[in-house]
């Protein structure tokens, strides 16, 4: 039996938000979405952590999502990042995204205020009841400060039929296994380096950062494992691992991926404070990593 949300299986890419001189660069956003469409990516995810949502104004947040939906034009799914630590704000952002035509929403665990498990339940139930599109629970306690426990996710799944996915970024195979055993939700890896381990217990893909750079390779990994070609999937995992471990871990996401995209001529690399650029040694390491991988730096 297919799981809820299985249409989002495969590669979803948490896209960056391009800036030029502190302002949104919609032309670069368009180029990046077209790049993902050409690669065969299942879904793009604007305004997540990788999209620097904490430093977007509300009008900017809405503009990025609207532009992404319009550029996608049904050629690729759009899972809009509309979560918040305020339930009312999450509902407002999600209502707007749904009105614009988003295929789903990504709902990060409320951060900083650290709800109880009961608070998590009522937060997600309120969103589910307010906006009738598919939703993905984004559980990332390293960022949000508190874990949504598997029992709570099972309770949400039982009572909220449009909560259809979990972006699992706890790093715990036990937690993912419990969710898969007790719900019919689709689980997507929230960590590039853990895609195969999570798929081995039943996850069906990844919401990827490194997919901004090498979507074809991530698609090959996910497809190979899904087709039962474990040896090929392991080969792709080991190929991708230096990008996932070395490149993405040298600084807080999205600093390294934006720097890499700038090196490849696909983004300005510009960040918003409090995110700051790589230092000279980190940049030298990044350049060596992408060169070793076989990616050619831009010559312009």
Residues assigned a catalytic role: 138, 167
Q: How far apart are CA 129 and CA 117, in angstroms?
A: 18
Cβ-based burial of 256 (10 A; exposed 0-12, middle 13-18, buried ≥19): buried
Burial environment of residue 8 by CB neighbours within 10 A (0 to 12, 13 to 18, 19 or more): buried
Rounded Cα distance between 238 and 193, Å, is 9
Phi and psi for 65 in degrees, rounded to 5?
-65, -45
- Any idea of the CA torsion for 93, 99, 51, 60, to the nearest 10 degrees? -70
Alpha helices per DSSP H over the chain: 26-39, 58-72, 87-100, 117-130, 141-144, 150-159, 173-182, 195-200, 215-226, 230-242, 255-263, 280-293
Determine how β-strand 104-108 pairs with β-strand 135-139.
parallel
- The rounded distance, in Å, linking the Cα atoms of 221 and 37 is 18
The burial of 95, by beta-carbon neighbours within 10 Å (0-12 exposed, 13-18 middle, 19 or more buried), is given as middle
Q: Which residues pair with 185 in a beta bridge?
A: 4
* Residue 144 C-alpha from the chain's centroid: 15
Answer whether the bond into residue 248 is a cis peptide, omega within 30°. no
Separation between Cα atoms, residue 31 and residue 121, nearest integer Å = 38
């Amino acid at each position: 039996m297919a799981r809820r949300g299985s249409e989002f299986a495969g590669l979803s890419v948490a896209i960056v938000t391009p800036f030029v001189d502190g302002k949104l660069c919609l032309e670069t956003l368009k180029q990046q979405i077209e790049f993902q469409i050409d690669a065969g990516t299942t879904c793009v995810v604007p305004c997540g952590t990788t999209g620097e949502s904490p430093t977007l104004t509300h009008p900017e947040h809405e503009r990025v999502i609207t532009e992404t939906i319009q550029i996608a034009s049904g050629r690729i799914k759009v899972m809009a990042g509309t979560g918040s630590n305020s339930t009312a704000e999450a509902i407002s952002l999600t209502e707007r995204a749904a009105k614009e035509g988003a295929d789903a929403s990504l709902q990060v665990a409320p951060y900083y205020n650290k709800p109880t498990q009961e608070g998590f339940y009522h937060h997600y139930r309120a969103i589910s009841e307010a906006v009738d599109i598919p939703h993905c629970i984004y559980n990332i306690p390293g960022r949000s400060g508190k874990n949504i426990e598997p029992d709570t996710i099972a309770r949400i799944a039982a009572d909220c039929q449009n909560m259809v996915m979990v972006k699992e970024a706890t790093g715990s195979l036990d937690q993912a296994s419990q969710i898969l055993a007790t719900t019919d939700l689709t689980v997507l890896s929230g960590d590039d380096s853990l895609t195969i381990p999570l798929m081995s217990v039943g996850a069906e893909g990844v919401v990827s950062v490194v997919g901004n750079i090498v979507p074809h390779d991530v698609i090959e990994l996910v497809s190979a494992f899904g087709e039962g070609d474990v040896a090929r999937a392991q080969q792709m995992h080991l190929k991708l691992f230096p990008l996932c471990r070395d490149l993405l871990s040298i600084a807080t996401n999205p600093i390294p991926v934006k720097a890499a995209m700038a090196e490849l001529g696909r983004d300005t690399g510009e960040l918003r404070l409090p995110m700051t650029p790589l230092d000279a040694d980190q940049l030298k390491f990044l350049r060596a990593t992408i060169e070793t991988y076989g990616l050619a730096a831009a010559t312009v």
